[in-house]
Amino acid sequence: MPHLRPHRIALLIALVQAVAAPVQASADTRAPADSAHVQALQDALGDAAQQGEQGDTLGALITFERLLADPGLADIPDAERVNAYVVAGWVALQARQHAPARSYLELARHETPDEPRALYLLGVLDAEDGRHLEGARLITRSLQLSDQFLPDISMSMAGSLGQQLQGHDSDYRDFLQALFDQGWKPEAIEPTDFWKRLAVLQIDSGQDDRVAATLERIDSPMAILALRADKRFDRFIDRDSPRFDPLQSAQRELDALRVGNLLAPEEIRNLVEMSYALLALGRHEEVVAMTGKVAGAAADPSLPRSFEHSGDIAWLLNNRAIAQRRLGDAHAGLATLETAAAFHEEGAANVSQQLNLASWQASLLRPREALETLEKTGSNLSPYGEAVQQWVRFFAYRQLGDMAQAATAQRWLEDHKDIAEDYVVETLLEDNALDQAAAQLVARLHSTEHRSEALMSMQQLLTVPSLPGDAERDRRWRQVVARADVQAALDAVGRSEHHPLFNTGSSR
């Protein structure tokens, strides 16, 4: 998963009066302190914090190591001492020094067990060290105590945590519930897919009393469609109400985004969301028109590839490429996606766009280019990103006739079925193993965890012709969905409906 973003030090350094939970004082039996030495120590700790904020994290860490070993530390106010441990832990984490980071943060937690900053940063540390369950629990506890770190939780981070917490539904539910209760709305966008997942987890755990409040914050077309498709929600929604009509939801969403764009035209993220809304409604010409100037500027080789909103530029171009492909010009879309893949996101290479580009190249029967693009993605991928990477490897090597390499990728997907089950089905379709593909789809429908995604894949939405490499597999998919055993499994848990909308895909 991508590194969880530690909070800026300026927001960590708090005056004693701002510490969230007051430390319970006990009778002071210590000898009178040397007030001059205590004041000098406090000043030095503040200077070390500023040194870290200015970027000299290694120098600040060395200074903290000396200051926090000073016997006079016991004489400064308890809250200031806890604050010093937290800031030292943050500096160590920024310097990639995990051992001292953990030591300082545990000292802070020992003195104040529910110190939200220490809990959050320990959660970051655990996640970066591969202890995802422990990290998620600490981050959740921090969020339950304080909203101080809410701006640090991006949609990609929340999604990655969901992938890492496969099989730990109660922990993921608690994490999402903490976000919900704190009013999480990253970049002013309602994260409806996460609230839909939270509602499913609430139903599956018997928390029916919480579902209505969660549904109140769900009003995006695909999320509404998912609620209608899943019979678990039948007792919570009125399917005849305009409130739960996907097409009307899509129009409401677009109208709200247009108003938001008028009020804050500088918010590029709003344009990204508007392009998604237009794609869902099939208004592809408008997407091409609204992204024309961005595409022209992005084509300038002198434009930096990494800047504050470069990730949003990449997603705007990604959606322009989808619109071009749906309008019948897949090669123009591919060129646009090549430009998008060059832009960085959050200061690092944009792996999502590179994977999208590789997938398109393979679907256009350009397997060598797809494999070359995959070489740029590196190894620091989310679990889902790695699944996409292995699928493209399978698909490309099959086209090249390298069955040994294709088999290696297919084995990886089968061994990681918990995160790659969609792509396992794709490999079975590619092999024309329709009985096995049907069995996998039926199993997904029976699964409480994967049912929603399986149901969404079976909805009857607008499509455009398949790309050359996908055509036969798409035809086989439709055969599988039409089978009596699959339809019976579908009818038991949900339904498939016609709606004049596009999903994120184009040919299914």
**Whole-number mean pLDDT of the chain?**
91
Sign of CA dihedral 362, 389, 451, 436: positive
Confidence (pTM): 0.87
- Neighbouring-strand partners of residue 348: 345
d(CA 48, CA 325): 54
How many residues does the structure list for the chain? Answer: 508
Check pLDDT > 80 for residue 325.
yes
Q: Which class does domain 36-179 fall in?
A: mainly alpha
d(CA 346, CA 276): 20
Lowest model confidence (mean pLDDT) among 1-5, 104-108, 192-196, 254-258 = 1-5
Q: Provide the 10 A C-beta neighbour count for residue 505.
A: 13
Q: Provide the 10 A C-beta neighbour count for residue 468.
A: 12
d(CA 314, CA 121): 30
Check pLDDT > 60 for residue 17.
no
Determine contact, residues 474/507, Cβ cutoff 8 Å. Answer: yes
Determine contact, residues 115/82, Cβ cutoff 8 Å. Answer: yes
Max distance between CA atoms of the chain, in angstroms, equals 84
d(CA 408, CA 354): 21
Half-sphere exposure of 432 (CA within 13 A, CB side): 2
How confident is the model over 176-234, as pLDDT tens digits? 999 999 999 998 889 999 999 999 999 999 999 999 999 999 999 999 999 999 999 99
What per-residue confidence (pLDDT) applies to 347? Answer: 77
Assigned token pair, 445: 């429908």
The pLDDT confidence band at residue 31, using thresholds 50, 70 and 90, is: very low
What per-residue confidence (pLDDT) applies to 16? Answer: 32
Buried b (16+ CB within 10 A) or exposed e, 14-34: bebeebeeebeeeeeeeeeee
Determine contact, residues 190/220, Cβ cutoff 8 Å. Answer: yes
What per-residue confidence (pLDDT) applies to 380? Answer: 80
What per-residue confidence (pLDDT) applies to 455? Answer: 98
Lowest model confidence (mean pLDDT) among 6-10, 31-35, 296-300, 450-454 = 6-10
Spell out the domain ranges in the chain: 36-179, 350-431, 432-507
Determine contact, residues 204/169, Cβ cutoff 8 Å. Answer: yes
What Cα–Cα distance (Å) separates residue 238 from each residue in 215, 224, 234, 244, 435?
12, 11, 8, 7, 36
What per-residue confidence (pLDDT) applies to 9? Answer: 46
What per-residue confidence (pLDDT) applies to 2? Answer: 39
Check pLDDT > 50 for residue 25.
no
How confident is the model over 288-308, as pLDDT tens digits? 999 999 999 999 999 999 998
- DSSP secondary structure code for residue 16 in this structure: G
Q: Provide the 10 A C-beta neighbour count for residue 482.
A: 9
- Pairing between β-strand 348-349 and β-strand 344-345 as defined by DSSP bridges: antiparallel
State the average pLDDT over residues 15-19.
32
pLDDT higher at 46 or 461: 461
What per-residue confidence (pLDDT) applies to 346? Answer: 76
How confident is the model over 326-379, as pLDDT tens digits? 999 999 999 999 999 999 987 788 899 999 999 999 999 999 999 999 999 988
What per-residue confidence (pLDDT) applies to 33? Answer: 55
How confident is the model over 68-114, as pLDDT tens digits? 999 989 989 999 999 999 999 999 999 999 999 999 999 999 999 99
What per-residue confidence (pLDDT) applies to 505? Answer: 85
Q: Provide the 10 A C-beta neighbour count for residue 207.
A: 15
In SS3 terms, 18-60 reads as HCCCCCCCCCCCCCCCCHHHHHHHHHHHHHHHHHHHCCCHHHH
State the average pLDDT over residues 317-324.
98
Residue that has been written with the tokens 């879309």 in this structure: 333
d(CA 283, CA 277): 9
Which residues are CB-contacts of 177 (< 8 A; sequence separation ≥ 6)?
198, 210
DSSP character string of 297-347: HHT-TTS-S-STTHHHHHHHHHHHHHHHHHTT-HHHHHHHHHHHHTSEETT
Assigned token pair, 15: 């005056």
What Cα–Cα distance (Å) separates residue 431 from each residue in 173, 365, 368, 478, 502?
37, 17, 21, 15, 27
